[in-house]
């Protein structure tokens, strides 16, 4: 393998695949990046056997071939290279790459490319396309509600529930639930009813490297899923298990409706969250809804906040307490000006939705507080 490329292209490839590089695995080669030169493109691959990421950049290929380089040293070296033409040449008898730039030369030891685990091409039991900006927004609007408790793996991932041509993306940590749905472009005439649980790491990486200019091809089976564009591909294992029926937890009837300005509520809650008592691991804010006013209060040993904001309200007067962080998490990702909060009781779930769209639902459980 011998190629001529630029620092910019090398950095792009490294940064795209770096989060799939294993940092704990006992197999040394998984700490490396596979470089493969073919057809005037340089392909980068990394995997920790749970997630694999591939991408490619244009290069001038003088001879084709492949090699695995230790990611830590290769990435640090490339970051420190000057902005000039760079030549990479694999010396198979020494299992090393010679890197030339200007009058300088660096030799970096690696592993033979054929020893790197193969990242499979999935044929796919299902396949569809989705616009990148849409998928990125769907991830942003739900990923914050996944659980960080590894003892319940299904809640550390996100549910892809595909109903015909509708993708439902759902996350929950059992205290709250985020649900975003959107239409997808099916690539065959099959009528899908699929439930796939995707690790949150995979979706975070997908959102990080998505480009907003070409559709994403999604395909896979019951064990793995891949997301692919012309230059980039992510393949991930799926989490085994059965996700709860998320539709059953959404209340059918409400006894109170609040319409409030999103940013006004967010600002008030941010101030209130400065004075919450976190001794029990929660950050409690109290909401009192009466007439056309929402009173928000919190107190701790340091101080207290007590604010009133105007709202539109229909229903029964109510006092209810929530985890301030859980409310702020969703308010930070809502871009619409007006927010609707449906209430079912002081100890029953509340539902947050934007005023102009019905494609997003956020459910949050209230907290029990002592009088």
Could you please state the CATH topology (level 3) that the domain comprising 250-364 is classified under. DNA Polymerase III; Chain A, domain 2 (3.10.150)
Query: What residue segments make up the domains of the chain, in order of their start?
Result: 2-115, 126-246, 250-364
Query: What DSSP string runs through 235-290?
Result: EEEPPPS----GGGGS-S--SEEEEEEHHHHHHHHHHHGGG---TTS--EEEEEEE
Rounded to whole angstroms, the Cα distance separating 186 from 184 reads: 6
- Token pair in block for residue 134: 């849409």
Length of the chain as a residue count:
371
With respect to CATH, is domain 2-115 assigned 3.10.150.10? yes
118 DSSP assignment: P
Query: What DSSP string runs through 294-338?
Result: EEEEEE-SS-EEEEEEE-EEEE--EEEEEEHHHHHHHHTT--SSE
Q: What is the pLDDT along the chain (371 residues), one digit of tens a residue?
A: 999 999 999 999 999 999 999 888 789 999 999 999 999 999 999 999 999 999 999 999 999 999 999 999 999 999 999 999 999 999 999 999 999 999 999 999 999 999 999 998 888 789 999 999 999 999 999 999 999 999 999 999 999 999 989 999 999 999 999 999 999 999 877 778 899 999 999 999 999 998 878 899 999 998 999 999 988 999 999 999 999 999 999 998 999 999 999 999 999 999 999 888 766 556 899 999 998 999 999 988 888 999 999 999 999 999 999 999 999 999 999 999 999 999 999 999 999 999 877 899 999 999 987 65
How far out from the chain centre does Cα 273 lie? Answer: 26
Rounded to whole angstroms, the Cα distance separating 156 from 148 reads: 6
Q: What is the CATH number of domain 126-246?
A: 3.10.150.10
SS3 call for 45:
strand
Please check whether the two domains, 2-115 and 126-246, share a CATH topology.
yes
């Amino acid at each position: 393998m011998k190629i001529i490329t630029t620092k910019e292209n090398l950095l792009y490839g490294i940064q795209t695949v770096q989060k799939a590089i294993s940092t704990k695995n006992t197999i040394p080669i998984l700490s490396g990046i596979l470089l493969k030169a073919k057809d005037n493109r340089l392909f980068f691959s990394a995997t920790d056997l749970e997630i694999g990421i591939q991408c490619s950049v244009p290069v001038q290929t003088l001879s084709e071939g492949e090699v695995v380089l230790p990611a830590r040293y290769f990435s640090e070296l490339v970051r420190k290279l000057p902005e000039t033409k760079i030549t990479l040449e694999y010396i198979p008898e020494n299992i090393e790459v010679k890197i030339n730039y200007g009058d300088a030369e660096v030799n970096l030891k690696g592993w033979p490319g054929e020893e790197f685990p193969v990242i499979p091409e999935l044929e796919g039991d299902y396949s569809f396309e989705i616009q990148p900006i849409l998928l990125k927004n769907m991830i942003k609007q739900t990923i914050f509600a996944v659980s960080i408790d590894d003892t319940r793996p299904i809640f550390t991932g996100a549910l892809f529930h595909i109903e015909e041509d509708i993708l439902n993306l759902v996350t929950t940590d059992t205290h709250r639930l985020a649900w975003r749905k959107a239409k997808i472009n099916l690539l065959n005439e099959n009528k899908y009813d699929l439930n796939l649980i995707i690790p949150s790491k995979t979706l975070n990486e997908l959102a990080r490297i998505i480009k907003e200019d070409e559709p994403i091809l999604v395909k896979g089976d019951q064990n793995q899923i891949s997301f692919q564009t012309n230059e980039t591909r992510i393949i991930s294992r799926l989490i085994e298990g059965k996700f709860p029926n998320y539709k059953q937890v959404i209340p059918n009837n409400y006894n109170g409706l609040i319409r409030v300005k999103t940013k006004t509520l967010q600002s008030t809650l941010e101030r209130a969250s400065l004075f919450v008592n976190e001794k029990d691991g929660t950050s409690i804010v109290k909401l009192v809804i009466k007439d056309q006013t929402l009173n928000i209060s919190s107190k701790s040993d340091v101080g207290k906040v007590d604010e009133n904001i105007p709202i539109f309200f229909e229903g029964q007067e109510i006092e209810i307490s929530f985890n301030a962080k859980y409310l702020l998490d969703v308010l930070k990702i809502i871009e619409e000006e007006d927010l609707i909060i449906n209430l079912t009781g002081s100890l029953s779930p509340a539902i947050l939705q934007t005023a102009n769209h019905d494609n997003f639902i956020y459910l949050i459980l209230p907290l029990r507080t002592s009088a």
